[in-house]
Amino acid sequence: MSQNLFIGSLAYATTDDSLKAFFETIGEVTSARVVTDRETGRSKGFGFVEFADEASNQKAIDELNGKELDGRAINVNLARPKEDRPRRDFNGGGNNNGGGSFRQRSW
């Protein structure tokens, strides 16, 4: 499995196709995806690019990090695997009173 590149600081106007075209100046791109919000469909401002050969990853980082795409300077880094990221805890800690933001009544 090849290593993906994480692309940050994308303009909201950037599409999968424009992202792919920008990175094809380095080498053959197998996939390019701008991450979008599920509800609104609007770009979240980051995406992922995968090259056919991993040698292109470092070349893309060296040549395209800080370059302008659709009016914004982008960040190009190696993507971290999902299991390396800490899990978010959305229930407000371990207070075991049913979670959420409402306090239980005691009467």
Confidence class of residue 103 from pLDDT cuts 50, 70 and 90?
A: low
Cα 12-17-19 angle, rounded to 5 deg:
60
Domain ranges of the chain: 5-82
Average pLDDT over residues 37-60: 95
Give the bridge partners for 49, in sequence order.
Answer: 5, 32
Confidence class of residue 81 from pLDDT cuts 50, 70 and 90?
A: confident
Per CATH, the number for 5-82 is: 3.30.70.330
- 93, pLDDT greater than 80: no
pLDDT of residue 102: 62
